[in-house]
Structure 1
Amino acid sequence: MNLAEHYNQLYTKSAKEILAGNYKLDTQINSVSDSRFGITLLIRPSESVKANIQVLLKDLKAVDNTQYYYPDSDIHITVMSIISCYDGFSLDKINVHEYIEIIEKSLIEVDQININFRGVTASPSAVMLQGFPSDETLNAFRNKLRDNFKNSDLQQSIDSRYEIATAHSTIMRFQEKLKNPEKLVQVLEQYRDYDFGEFRVKELELVYNDWYQHDKNTILLADFYL
């Protein structure tokens, strides 16, 4: 996949939808009755990158502070959604150690992963950072995970929603009617090619999480160091 082209097409289409008022609101972000949980392997950006992200979030909040903005603790890149969130999933349904073993097996040939956050893109319901891995290591690792999990008897739903191929990070979701879609898109335009920084991935986290990766609902199951 040509990531730059993919992100650009997504942004162009979504910006038009936002300006036309055809954006989508997420009504469950703050719902205490949302019981969708799953397990995810993810990457956290470096502290310096997160500091740069806050510059963008400050400008977005100045335009519309009624939307949902991801706190530093929740910002992440999904490596693989191993069990996609669904109502009623709980850890007692699986043997976590077996999942850890497969991830460790898949990591054997992984040496180094570097990711550059450069520019922003959007969907009709969210704003995302554009992540660009420096090489094919992340994709190769994902393919190993796919093969190893699908050749196991473990519960998993990898690629059930879509086949993940990007390295984006969602930083804002629309939860209320947008105050000023035009100004929002103007801010996004200013950051379309902004360099938020590059970082070397030092660890991966396997977590039990809700749909939005709220830190308060997340349980760390294992760390994997590179």
Structure 2
Amino acid sequence: MGLKEHYNKMYRESIADIASDHYEIDDMIDSKSDNRFGISLVIRPSLEVKKNVRDFLDELNKVEPHQYYYPESDIHLTLLSIISCYEGFSLDSIDPSEYMAIAQKRITTLDEKIKIHFKGLTASKSCIMLKGYEEQPIINDLRNQLRRDFKHSELQQSLDERYLLKTAHATILRFKTELSNKNAFLTLVDRYADYDFGTFEVDTIELVYTDWYHREKLVKKLHEFKL
């Protein structure tokens, strides 16, 4: 199954679940005791793309004001979740420089530009996401190389424990309470299902210590890899 078909299958199935009230509410978003942290390599969209996303989310917010909308500062594409967020993880338990060294060695081998096109929406039972596409299949090749590098090291990692990341999606909304205007919400989501949010060229990959939601106030940037 190609990426477009995969995204569309996710969308159809998840929208059907949401329409029939089989969606999942995240009750940890506002929790003061949420202590799930991890280490990831992330890519941030351009300002233009983030503005287009924000305009869409502002419309959704008028219909469903009590959901969790990602602010522009937090919107990201996960290149690789090296240590998936878990309760109680802290930087004191690792040497970040060892992770930087492995990532640096691999990222510096890139000789092609990464361009990502965010076009349309997909979904899961718990969130709404942007559909990301590459002009050239570089990201998954890089992911697979980094997976091998980290798995062959003795560093703490939990690669692929949650799921094998193959897409270039970006989460932009999570359900944190029951939908109060479900039909209007789904109508608006459907209107943007194929909307062109823009294309950008990746110039930086970040290694970050992050919470589950990638909130700016909790994210600690460990290193920037310039492309």
Q: TM-score range by the shorter chain?
A: over 0.9
Which residue of the partner structure matches residue 152 of structure 1? 153
1:201 is aligned to 2:202? yes
Q: Distance in 2 between matches of 1:139 and 1:18?
A: 30
**Which residue type is aligned with residue 142 of structure 1?**
R
- Matched with 1:187 is 188
Using the TM superposition, give the Cα deviation of residue 83 of structure 1 relative to its aligned residue in structure 2, in angstroms: 0.3
Instruction: Read off the aligned partner of 2:194 and give its amino acid letter.
Output: D
Write out per-residue CA displacement over residues 93-145 of structure 1, whole angstroms, 9 at most, x where no aligned residue: 11111100100111132131110000011111111010111111111110110
Aligned-residue offset at 1:184: 1.1
> Residues 87-102 of structure 1 correspond to what in structure 2 (within 5 A)?
87-102=87-102
Once the two structures are superposed, the pairs formed by residues 79-158 of structure 1 within 5 Å of their partners are: 79-111=79-111, 112-158=113-159
Greater than 3 Å deviation, 4+ residue runs = none
Task: Give the alignment of 1:15-94 within 5 angstroms.
Answer: 15-94=15-94
State how far apart, in whole Å, the 2-side matches of 1:225 and 1:30 are: 34
SS of the counterpart of 1:62? helix
- The one-letter code of the counterpart of 1:33 is S
**Percent pairwise identity:** 49
Distance 2:122 2:71 in 1: 19
Give the unaligned 5+ runs of structure 1: none
- Residue 11 of structure 2 corresponds to 11
How many angstroms apart in 1 are the aligned matches of 2:138 and 2:68? 32
Say which SS state the counterpart of residue 208 (structure 1) adopts: strand
Distance, in Å, in 1 between the alignment partners of 2:56 and 2:4 is 20
TM-score, normalised relative to structure 1: 0.98
Q: What is the DSSP-based 3-state SS (H/G/I as helix, E as strand, rest coil) of the residue aligned with 2:217?
A: helix
Distance (whole Å) between structure 1 residues aligned to residue 71 and residue 99 of structure 2: 28
**Higher mean displacement: 149-158 or 100-109:** 100-109
Residues 58-79 of structure 1 deviation map (CA, whole Å, 9 limit, x = unaligned): 1111110000000011000000
When the two structures are superposed, what TM-score results if normalisation uses the length of structure 2? 0.98
Q: How many residues align?
A: 226
Letter in 1 for 2:23: Y
Amino acid at match of 1:225: K
Cα distance in 2 for partners of 1:157, 1:209 equals: 15
RMSD between aligned alpha carbons? 0.8
